[in-house]
Amino acid sequence: ACFIFSLAKYAPLTYNKVYKYPDWAEGLGWLLALSSMICIPLVVVVKIIQSDGPIIERIKMLTAPKGEGRKPKDVALDAEATVPLSPNGTAGNEVGKPTQIIIETAM
């Protein structure tokens, strides 16, 4: 909204109401401002293009919160969600002695 308002109320940039900056400098300033603002709409367009289905379904799926409806159908396929890692870094519930010794020193 702020960006659209600044476009509507645009006036050429001047210094001390005397010096008017060159067009290439104003263009560079607008380019720098747009470089940070264009990222979000660009990612939205890329996500819509990469998803499958009709355009309305794509937008609905991408704007829906990631809740119960967006979990994998078969939880057994998601190995990381079903098998926790032990402190040793191995999969499963076997909790044994740590394989590394951590020594703390104070200086």
Q: Which residues of 85-107 are buried (b: 16+ CB within 10 A; e: fewer)?
A: eeeeeeeeeeeeeeeeeeeeeee
Q: What confidence score (pLDDT) does residue 10 get?
A: 83
CA 41 centroid distance within chain: 11
Predicted model pTM: 0.45
Q: What confidence score (pLDDT) does residue 19 get?
A: 92
CA-CA distance, 75 to 81, in Å (whole number)? 8
What are the two backbone dihedrals, phi and then psi, of residue 14, each rounded to the nearest 5 degrees?
Answer: -130, 160
Q: What confidence score (pLDDT) does residue 13 get?
A: 82
Q: What percent of the chain has pLDDT over 70?
A: 64
Q: What confidence score (pLDDT) does residue 17 get?
A: 85
Residue 75 carries which DSSP code? G
The one-letter code for the residue type at 36 is S
CA-CA distance, 18 to 20, in Å (whole number)? 6
Q: Give every residue of the chain whose pLDDT is below 50, as ranges.
A: none
Q: pLDDT tens for residues 77-100?
A: 555 555 555 555 555 555 555 566
Among candidates 30, 29, 26, which has minimal Cα distance to 12? Answer: 26
Q: What confidence score (pLDDT) does residue 3 get?
A: 76
